Amino acid sequence: MKYLAIIFSLILISCTVTDHGAGKFTEEKNTVGTWSGYIERFSTTVLPDDKGEPYYKVIVLNCGKIPEIYVKLEEEGSFQKYYQNYDVLESSGSLLMNIIHDGGAWVESQTWGIVFISSQKADIQWSRMVSNVKAKETHSLRSFGELGYGEMKKVSNSCEKS
């Protein structure tokens, strides 16, 4: 009976699921708040609406289970929210967010990686792939990708996009 109780306990322990939500990690590492910075971007092709800006300004609001990401594509433009309801994984000072969005004629996947260096500094990486599924295989925009990398600083302990 003693061995049965031990085996049952081991089975329960092995079936425990780790919560990858923002809660414990962000509070312990003091990463909750507003983060701001720039990412340098690279594209596999020149896009028709590309203004040639090599940098995007990025704001990350990290106050809930799913951080919010806002990007300013041009200096005179406004910030645009990049999706919501990302899948989020966290571990040891790193945050990974990804999503696949099906727009019907196109499908886009995005991944954001954030490494919190300290309570005031973080590095950010972005990857985007688009498949224009209705375009011909030989069309220049049938599929393309973008990458970005940069640094962010914590600008506030609260979450306000300014």
- Say what the pLDDT of residue 59 is: 95
Cα gap 27→48, rounded to integer Å? 42
Q: Which two tokens stand for residue 54?
A: 């090599």
101 located within any domain:
yes
Q: Which two tokens stand for residue 62?
A: 């990290």
138 located within any domain:
yes
Q: How many domains does the chain have?
A: 1
Q: Which two tokens stand for residue 149?
A: 């990398």
79 located within any domain:
yes
2 located within any domain:
no
> Residues 10-62: pLDDT tens digits?
333 333 333 444 444 444 457 899 999 999 999 888 877 777 678 889 999 99
Cα gap 91→109, rounded to integer Å? 22
- Say what the pLDDT of residue 29 is: 58
Residue 9 pLDDT > 80, yes or no? no
Residue 146 pLDDT > 70, yes or no? yes
- Say what the pLDDT of residue 27 is: 46
3 located within any domain:
no
Residue 144 pLDDT > 90, yes or no? yes
Q: Tell me, what CATH number does 76's domain have? A: 2.40.128
54 located within any domain:
yes
- Say what the pLDDT of residue 5 is: 37
Q: Which two tokens stand for residue 152?
A: 């962010």
Categorize the per-residue pLDDT at 70 as very low, low, confident or very high, splitting at 50, 70 and 90: very high
5 located within any domain:
no
Which residue range is the domain that position 110 belongs to? 17-156
149 located within any domain:
yes
